[in-house]
Structure 1
């Protein structure tokens, strides 16, 4: 796809002639242009089919989790409260991305308002951080359930769960707040074209014609010191969990107890591995093709909302039983 037509459509954002200035900035551009998946424009319609299907399954699956937990009093416990938090986070995250992405693929609607771009950036990164925090809370839940089963109900009371949820929300909101604030301060020049189907921090910052090391360093701080610490806390929880499991007297007891953690482990792997790979590739993978960058980033933000309800629906017997009972009851 040629960039000139897009530039002409937003000519008021382009630099003035060289006689006016060597570099003319527009520190408050009115719009950005989202290219979708550069290099694969002719396949946008076909690419939209799996993406639309993924979004529909994610919405249906996460709403089903919320409905079943709300409907069944026996599921009103810390593990399922955290699962509901994860479902809400996944719904907001996928809805922050997919509608605009599909409008690009279907209607070639590539323009996005500058403030809308920063808002989308904030929601995407904020809810990714919240999801990371919820995974830590779920690891804590499994640790208490396996290592301190007799004290589970006294440690993870409803007020404690509510405080953990509030802490996760506040941490995500405050940690990501500098992203749009800093991005709005930089001058932007020569282009307003983002080679992505949505606004992410590093892609927007790369368009600035200024020293943006503050944004880059802060992004690395969030990656390593926030998500990195989350991963350390999860690893420490599971080291203690494995020690407790291995101390059980029989093989059957070990397998049964470990089975309660399998769903959470799958969700952790689906979230952290593509995320770390995507973040590091953006910063250090200059020789990687652009469309591969974009596809990996899409996997990072779209796969967890799709997989989480499926994994928990398949691996959690209580949810399976309630869902089956609901269908049988409605069938009668």
Structure 2
């Protein structure tokens, strides 16, 4: 059937993990619900700290604030539906709703990728050009870069939806995934998906590898700059300012690149294993990032310590 023919599918059903037995649906929904609650709690705490402490109104924390918002929105886009699928057997989603979710999934993923690039740029300028840092990186320039990230992220997301939406969907409507993404949807099309999957793969690689290439360059430059610092204590202190960002970047990029590349070079996983890996790299960063922000950034850590001590004093 050609891509121009009519689609007979008017809605989709999100299956989630196809190998999961019905007796474990309650457990799966409970775990996902708790994960969602932890993501909301951790990230909302960071937002409240930012809103109530002017000391955090600095370029790095504005980047973190945008990452927090992106993480919350991504989790809210994906988790409620899969929780409802296992808790209430409500896996049905409308045709338009599925493509809207697909757009938002890829949009927030692209936003995060661009924000991580900005984070790396901040560290690069701070360490490699410390005297020029206040002139290059300030609140105004960071606001412009953050807004640019949110605007540019529309382009790859829209391109995926525009190419996938008109395809004919006339057979099964069951999505073997926990949310609507490009691969899961286009696999259901009654046409050769190669002409559509390869451009989407290229777009995904540009969004991933473009920022990642700069991130690798920036941290290589940082390492060179750190090696030139005379004192060991100075080198360790400088590297410690990058450790949290490196963890966040690794959590985001490494599993995504692995999945994208493996699916296009012939490495095959079972459907359930592949979905587990995708859910882990989708949910671990929003879940763990607030801990990294609180434990690896000095200002937030000091604020949390003061809050904890004040609570202890009031309890006594």
- With normalisation by structure 1, the TM-score equals 0.89
Number of the residue aligned with 2:247: 266
Cα distance in 2 for partners of 1:326, 1:239 equals 37
Q: Aligned to 1:126, which of 92, 107, 131?
A: 107
Number of the residue aligned with 1:27: 7
Q: CA 1:283–1:110 in 2, change beyond 3 Å: closer, same or farther?
A: farther
Cα distance in 2 for partners of 1:203, 1:282 equals 12
Q: Aligned to 1:78, which of 47, 59, 62?
A: 59
Q: Alignment partner of 2:132: what SS? A: helix
Give how far 1:158 is off.
2.0
Deviation digits for residues 259-314 of structure 1 (CA, Å, limit 9, x no counterpart): 00000000011111111222234445564211011111111211111111111211
Q: Alignment partner of 1:112: what SS? A: strand
1:38 aligned onto 2:43: no
Name stretches of at least 5 consecutive residues in structure 1 with no aligned partner: 1-20
Number of the residue aligned with 1:89: 70
Number of the residue aligned with 2:166: 185
Give how far 1:318 is off.
1.2
Q: Aligned to 1:58, which of 26, 29, 39?
A: 39
Give how far 1:51 is off.
2.1
Q: Alignment partner of 1:198: what SS? A: coil
Number of the residue aligned with 2:210: 229
C-alpha contact (below 8 Å) 2:243/2:296 kept by paired residues: yes
Name stretches of at least 5 consecutive residues in structure 2 with no aligned partner: none
C-alpha contact (below 8 Å) 2:262/2:268 kept by paired residues: no
- With normalisation by structure 2, the TM-score equals 0.93
Stretch deviating more after TM superposition (208-217 or 69-78): 208-217
C-alpha contact (below 8 Å) 1:186/1:210 kept by paired residues: yes
Q: CA 1:310–1:28 in 2, change beyond 3 Å: closer, same or farther?
A: farther
Q: Alignment partner of 1:254: what SS? A: helix
Q: CA 1:270–1:110 in 2, change beyond 3 Å: closer, same or farther?
A: same
Q: CA 1:46–1:168 in 2, change beyond 3 Å: closer, same or farther?
A: same
* CA RMSD after TM alignment: 1.8
Number of the residue aligned with 2:131: 150
Deviation digits for residues 84-129 of structure 1 (CA, Å, limit 9, x no counterpart): 0100000001111110010011111111001000000000111001
Q: CA 1:287–1:135 in 2, change beyond 3 Å: closer, same or farther?
A: closer
Number of the residue aligned with 2:301: 320
Give how far 1:28 is off.
5.9
